[in-house]
């Protein structure tokens, strides 16, 4: 079952570098790769060695670290790129070529027949040079490609038994979960080959599409930290983890989950952005409970309104009480935390007072604490 045995291809050092504000220095790449390795991602994908001299040197550096994560690099479908990639000593090479009408016409100008011939030539070349290397072939813009074209390409390559897996890419973020499910399912069924899904988030479906890919039989999912990448990016590592955790915690126990906040914060800092408030798990408000009804239930048992346990990620929940939606259970809980045992009717009166004052502006915790202490003094 793919959910029980899926692999993350962490592409912060490839797709992520294509994010508008991302340019990682060598020490930064080493720090990112080290943290991702400690977290436990199975693969780290790096920018093509042809991108720039530093990009090539950085691949060698990261390869030289001897991490547990396998190091991949990402190249176009041609022999020169493949030779340069092979020379870096990576564990695997991800090869991509566009198959949509748009890309065939305006990017490389090749027909499907020519794409197949070129792919077979390049893939056999890599296999001859490095029989043990992990080799992936992907069609860029798969979901705007003609399905019959895609299947022709995948079947021809599968027959030649040259690759370890196929990639399916929703390059422009146009696919729906059902389309992803159907496409992945079909490729797995027809080729019997592992499938990797790479999904952009232009229409907000990147996490849902990655999940649908796994449901359809995909074995590998591309992620980046916080989802950074071209335009508004791809499936975020943390959101994928949240999605799978909420299906079954066991699916993500292989990862060192308490490192996630540090990883998200590091990438936010390096890119000069903040973690979005609504980010899964590490967003500022991900574990903040507010309304009185919620607060009461969560204080009794967090399971009532939390599908994710913050402590599994080294985080804590917060119950906010200084606002007009507050409830007396939450105020009583605060009093008890302060060691004040006030009668219920006093707590209820304080709650009414908090609500009235909070109609003007939310109260700080210390203001509520002062009200509680004052009442405790008076009732002595």
Looking at beta carbons only, is 46 or 347 nearer to ligand HCA?
Answer: 46
Query: Can residue 329 be called a binding residue for ligand HCA (CB under 6 A)?
Result: no
Looking at beta carbons only, is 85 or 168 nearer to Cu ion?
Answer: 168
Residue from 10, 37, 94, 194 binding ligand HCA (CB under 6 A)? 94
Query: Can residue 327 be called a binding residue for ligand HCA (CB under 6 A)?
Result: no
Contact indicator for 296, 275 with CB cutoff of 8 Å: no
Q: Tokens 């007009």 — which residue? A: 324
d(CA 135, CA 48): 15
Q: How far is the CB of 34 from ligand HCA (least distance, A)?
A: 24
d(CA 158, CA 172): 26
Residue from 16, 49, 92, 167 binding ligand HCA (CB under 6 A)? 167
Q: How far is the CB of 168 from Cu ion (least distance, A)?
A: 12
Phi, psi (deg, nearest 5) at residue 71: -100, 130
Kindly state the tokens that stand for 181: 């499910």
Residue 135's nearest CA partner among 114, 166, 89 is 166
Query: Can residue 171 be called a binding residue for ligand HCA (CB under 6 A)?
Result: yes
Q: How far is the CB of 97 from ligand HCA (least distance, A)?
A: 9
Contact indicator for 154, 161 with CB cutoff of 8 Å: no
Looking at beta carbons only, is 38 or 230 nearer to ligand HCA?
Answer: 230
**DSSP strand E in the chain: where?**
7-10, 43-46, 70-76, 92-98, 134-140, 165-170, 194-199, 220-223, 288-289, 318-319
Residue from 96, 225, 244, 340 binding ligand HCA (CB under 6 A)? 96
**373 in active site:** no
Query: Can residue 15 be called a binding residue for ligand HCA (CB under 6 A)?
Result: yes
Strand, helix or coil at 253?
A: coil
Helix segments in 90-205, DSSP class H: 101-103, 112-129, 147-159, 177-191
Residue 279 interacting partner from ligand HCA, Cu ion, none (CB closer than 5 to 8 Å by kind):
none
Looking at beta carbons only, is 15 or 17 nearer to Cu ion?
Answer: 15
Dihedral (Cα; 98, 229, 169, 277), 10-degree rounding: -160
Q: How far is the CB of 230 from Cu ion (least distance, A)?
A: 6
Q: Is 261 exposed, middle or buried (0-12, 13-18, 19+ CB in 10 A)?
A: middle
Query: Can residue 138 be called a binding residue for ligand HCA (CB under 6 A)?
Result: yes
Q: How far is CA 298 from the centre of its chain?
A: 27
Residues 196-225 that bind ligand HCA (CB under 6 A): 198, 200
Query: Can residue 187 be called a binding residue for ligand HCA (CB under 6 A)?
Result: no
d(CA 187, CA 156): 12
d(CA 10, CA 33): 9
Pick the piece of the chain touching ligand HCA (CB under 6 A) from 32-40, 57-65, 109-117, 164-172. 164-172
Looking at beta carbons only, is 230 or 367 nearer to ligand HCA?
Answer: 230
Q: Which of 220, 294, 323, 366 is catalytic?
A: 294
Pick the piece of the chain touching ligand HCA (CB under 6 A) from 166-174, 209-217, 283-291, 297-305. 166-174
Residue from 140, 149, 194, 333 binding ligand HCA (CB under 6 A)? 140
What does the binding site for ligand HCA look like in residue numbers (CB under 6 A)? 15, 18, 74, 94, 96, 138, 140, 167, 169, 171, 198, 200, 230
What does the binding site for Cu ion look like in residue numbers (CB under 5 A)? 15
User: Which residues are marked as active site?
Assistant: 294
């Amino acid at each position: 079952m793919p959910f029980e045995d899926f692999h993350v291809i962490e592409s912060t050092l490839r797709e992520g570098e294509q994010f508008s504000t991302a340019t990682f220095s060598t020490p930064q790449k080493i720090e990112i790769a080290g943290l991702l390795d400690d977290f436990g991602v199975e693969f780290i994908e790096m920018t093509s060695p042809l991108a720039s001299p530093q990009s090539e040197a950085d691949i060698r550096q990261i390869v030289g670290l001897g991490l547990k994560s396998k190091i991949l690099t990402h190249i176009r479908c041609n022999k020169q790129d493949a030779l340069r990639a092979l020379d870096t000593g990576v564990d695997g090479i991800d090869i991509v070529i566009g198959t949509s009408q748009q890309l065939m016409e305006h990017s490389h100008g090749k027909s499907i027949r020519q794409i197949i011939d070129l792919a077979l030539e390049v893939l056999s070349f890599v296999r001859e040079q490095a029989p043990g290397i992990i080799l992936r072939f992907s069609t860029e813009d798969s979901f705007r490609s003609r399905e019959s074209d895609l299947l022709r390409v995948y079947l021809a390559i599968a027959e030649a038994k040259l690759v370890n897996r196929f990639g399916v890419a929703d390059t422009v973020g146009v696919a729906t979960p059902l389309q992803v499910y159907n496409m992945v399912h079909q490729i797995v069924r027809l080729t019997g080959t592992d499938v990797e899904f790479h999904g952009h988030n232009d229409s907000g479906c990147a996490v849902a599409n990655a999940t649908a890919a796994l449901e359809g039989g995909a074995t590998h999912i591309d992620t980046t930290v916080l989802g950074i990448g071209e335009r508004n990016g791809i499936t975020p590592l943390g959101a994928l983890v949240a999605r799978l955790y909420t299906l079954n915690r066991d699916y993500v126990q292989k990862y060192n989950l308490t490192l996630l906040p540090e990883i998200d914060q590091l990438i936010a800092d390096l890119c000069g952005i903040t973690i979005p408030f609504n980010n899964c798990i590490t967003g500022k408000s991900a574990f903040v409970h507010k309304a009185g009804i919620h607060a009461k239930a969560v204080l009794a048992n967090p399971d009532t309104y939390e599908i994710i346990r913050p402590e599994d990620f080294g985080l804590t929940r917060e119950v906010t009480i200084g606002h007009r939606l507050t409830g007396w259970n939450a105020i009583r809980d605060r009093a008890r935390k302060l060691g004040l045992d006030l009668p219920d009717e006093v707590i209820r009166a304080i709650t009414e007072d908090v609500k009235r004052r909070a109609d003007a502006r939310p109260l700080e915790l210390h203001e509520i604490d002062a009200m509680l202490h004052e009442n405790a003094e008076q009732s002595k």
